Each structure stands twice: as C-alpha cells, then as structure tokens.
Amino acid sequence: MWSQEETTMTDQIQRLAPPSPANPAGAARSRRQNIIVRFNLLFIFVALFVVASITAPQFLTSQNLANLLQQSSLTGIVAIGMTVVILTSGIDLSVGSVAALSGMLVAILIGLGIAWPVAMVLAILSGLVLGGIMGGLSAYLALPAFMVTLAGMQSIRGLTFLTTNGTPTTAEIPIGLRFLGAGSVAGIPVVGLIFVITTVIVGLVLRRTTFGEHVYAVGSNAKAARLSGLPVQRITTAAYVICGGLAALTGVLLTARLTIGQPTAHTGLELDAIAAVVLGGTSLFGGKGGVMGTFIAVLLLSVLRNLFNLMGLSSFFQMLVTGLILIAALIMNYVLDRQTKNA
C-alpha cells in the first residue's frame, strides 16, 4: 500500500502530465470545428469571390476591383472604429452624422482659405471631440449608449444642415487632398490603402497593447474590470473617441473624392458599419471579436453588392438578400460556437 506522500506525488504528476487522447476522433472533430468557427467568414468570402468571378466576367477587371475597394473602404474605416466601441459593449449610432459634419467642415474651411492639411486636422479633431462627448456622457453618467448616440445622430445631422441651410458646399479641393480621396498607387486606390493601414494599426493596438487588453476586459465584464482597478470610464470614452475620429476621417475622404461637402452624405452609414462588425464575428455584448473579421465582412458585403449590380438586380432585391445573408451568418456563427463549447 502506498503512503499518503506517494499518493499525493502521483496525483501531482498526473495533473502535470498532458491529457491522453482518449478519443482521437473527437479531438480531431473539435479541431475541425474550431477551424470552421475561426475562418468560416473567410471561407464564405472566397466562395463568393469565386462565384462572382464565374457569374460576372467583368467582375475581375482591374477597374471593377479598384472601384469595389474604393467603395468599401469608406464604410470599412468607420466599421473599424465601430468594432472598438462594440468590443466595450457599446454602440455608436452617430457615425454617419459625424462623417457628414466633418466632410462639410473641411470643405468650408478650405473655402475660407485655410490650408488643406490644417482643415483636415480640424475636421478630424471635430470627430474626436464629438466622440469623446458621447462616450463621456455614456461612461461617466451611466447613460445608455444607444440613446446618447441616437440623440447625437439627430443633433449632429441637424447642425450639419444648419451650417449651410442644407445646401451642399463646393470648394476648390487641393490636389493633395484629392489624391487621398480619389488617387491611386499602382492601380490601388489610396483610400483602400488607408483602410488597410487603419485595420492593421487598430488590430495591433487591440492585440498588442495594454489598452487593447483593457478594451476586451471592459467588454467582457465591466464590473470585474472596475474591481480590478481598470479605468473603465476612460477606456470606454477612448473607444468612442477613436470611433468618432475614424468617422470624421471618412467624411473628409468622401469630400476629397466628390470635391463637395454634402450635408445628406453618409445616411445609413451606421447601419452598414454595425452590420459589418456583427457579421465579422464581434459580439454585440462586447469582449469578443476583432478588426480582421470586420475587414473581411466589409469586403464580403461589397462583393455581394457589386455582383448584384453587375447582374442588374434591383436594389430592393439587394437589400432583401443582404439582410437574409446577415441573419444566416449570425445563426451559423451561433451554432458553430455552441458546438465548439459542447465538444
């Protein structure tokens, strides 16, 4: 009979030893499910890209691909900022209005003779400030983010109309700013490069910095994060500042492309951004997801709409199918996630 000391040592060795593969088939199935859950959106995107290439021969033309990237990038930049907010378990419905105001502001400032880099910085700064105000109201006063940003969406849009009585603002957009909105490098739209760079930078911040860890912690459990000593209110506010700044950047880029400040621009942008974030796998409850999923989702939705346009399908049909695909993707993610947890 073993002594109590020998038994304890044996138990410790067994706990330290790697578990034996009692069910190799089950382990392999679990690994496959994890791969499907992690990369399912990428698989869908590749399949859709192949279908689009076969169905519409003009889809793979360089001009069409450049247009697709340019059109998706404006929504994508905002969606990256929205991802940060949703990771904190928040929501920002004001991004479309912030983008419209910033686009009008940069046109007005250039029209007043202010150098375009200064005008651009001031316009983006306005987005940072507006994001900070709404994030601060939500974080420090414990107001529902949905209602705060809904009020912001209405009031900021109203301010945009008041600046010029609802009329577009035309300005001689300098060539440097035009290049950012409508230029290209080696056939790749500059705005697309800005989208990619934004995704990489925000992705690195979220995954490689203390601030990023705090964002996930706040979104997972704000109360536990607060008890752990994290500055929950400042982190939440900072997420809205980032989102507001990226929305303002989007507004500036659209004005640079169109050479006009349009007060009605970016209507519905918030819904497109939220759809891309959720489709990309970021949980609306916070603490789960990332910008790479959002990046792929933005491209997927853009390819889908581009394919519909090339096929000459009605915009009403496009709205219906896009909504159904979004619902199907959410259901699939839910089912696969449940299967992985139960495996």
For the cut 90, the answer to whether the pLDDT of residue 236 exceeds it is yes
pLDDT at 196: 95
Q: What is the mean pLDDT of the chain?
A: 86
Beta bridge partners of 40: none
Question: What gap in Å lies between CA 206 and CA 78, rounded to an integer?
Answer: 16
User: Would you place residue 26 in the very low, low, confident or very high pLDDT band (cuts 50, 70, 90)?
Assistant: low
pTM for the full model?
Answer: 0.86
pLDDT at 203: 96
- Which CATH fold topology does 61-312 show? ABC transporter involved in vitamin B12 uptake, BtuC (1.10.3470)
Question: What gap in Å lies between CA 123 and CA 97, rounded to an integer?
Answer: 13
Where along the chain do its domains lie? 61-312
Best CA proximity match to 91, nearest among 277, 328, 266 = 277
Q: Give ∠ CA 89-93-94 in degrees, rounded to 5.
A: 125
Best CA proximity match to 262, nearest among 155, 157, 191, 182 = 157
CA torsion, ordered 81, 275, 286, 330, to nearest 10 deg: -150
pLDDT at 55: 87
- C-beta separation of 155 from 94 below 8 A: no
Q: What is the pLDDT of residues 275-324, one digit of tens each?
A: 899 888 888 888 888 999 999 999 999 998 888 888 887 878 878 877 88
Give the CB-side neighbour count of residue 343, counting CA atoms within 13 A: 19
User: Would you place residue 6 in the very low, low, confident or very high pLDDT band (cuts 50, 70, 90)?
Assistant: very low
pLDDT at 10: 42
Lowest-pLDDT choice from 107-116, 161-170, 213-222: 161-170
For the cut 80, the answer to whether the pLDDT of residue 248 exceeds it is yes
Question: What gap in Å lies between CA 203 and CA 83, rounded to an integer?
Answer: 10
- DSSP-derived pairing of the beta strands 188-189 and 260-261: unpaired
C-alpha distances out from residue 146 to 96, 134, 150, 224, 341, Å:
14, 10, 6, 22, 30
Q: What is the pLDDT of residues 126-174, one digit of tens each?
A: 999 999 999 999 999 999 999 999 999 999 999 999 988 888 888 788 9
Q: What is the pLDDT of residues 38-82, one digit of tens each?
A: 677 888 888 888 988 888 888 888 888 898 898 899 999 999 999
For the cut 80, the answer to whether the pLDDT of residue 326 exceeds it is no
pLDDT at 33: 56
Chain position carrying tokens 């340019």: 70
pLDDT at 37: 59
CB-based burial, 306-318: b 16+ in 10 Å, e otherwise:
bbbeeeeeeeeeb
In the structure encoding, which two tokens stand for residue 233, read together?
Answer: 């209110």
Per DSSP, the residues of 14-30 read HHHSPPP-S-HHHHHHH
User: Would you place residue 1 in the very low, low, confident or very high pLDDT band (cuts 50, 70, 90)?
Assistant: very low
